[in-house]
Amino acid sequence: MENLKNGMKTTGRKMGEFRFVEHTADVAVEVRADSLPELFRVAGIALREIVYGQVSIKNREQKTVELEADSLEELLVDFLNELNYYLLVRQWIYRELDVVELRTDVTRKSVKAVLRGEPVQPEQHEVQVEVKAATFHQLEIRREAGKYRTMIVFDT
């Protein structure tokens, strides 16, 4: 886990950034973004970087992820765990992640994201950290000074 640097990282777009945070046993990531869809996108990019580091990925295929939950925090955890399933179980790595719809209705929350990437190429894509799951530990999505923020702890 030494390969995870603590400085803020932008994700190729100016609207969101993340940084890895010192944590006792697991990996924690602080995420900041201008919007909720961007917060979800940036969190997904951070997860990919935890698992595979910075690797070359081609946009050979497209996949769609759609989920519903009762709260934004539950939706974020479910979303990240679904992405982790793609990375580690389905052996499929995404280069681009676009949250094309995020609904925050009073009773139900939902997310729809489009992933572009390719099947894992073992000679190119080596797992750096095996993430078991995104957790609810210390998870709270909040808005401060016009930005959305959260800290996500991943069980490794």
Write out the CATH class of domain 9-155: alpha beta
**Confidence grade of residue 23 (pLDDT, cut at 50, 70, 90):** low
Q: What is the pTM of this model?
A: 0.87
Q: Where are the beta strands (DSSP E) in the chain?
A: 9-10, 16-21, 27-33, 61-69, 92-104, 109-119, 133-134, 142-144, 147-155
Which range, of 11-15, 57-61, 104-108, averages the lowest pLDDT?
11-15
pLDDT number for residue 59: 96
**Coil, helix or strand for 94?**
strand
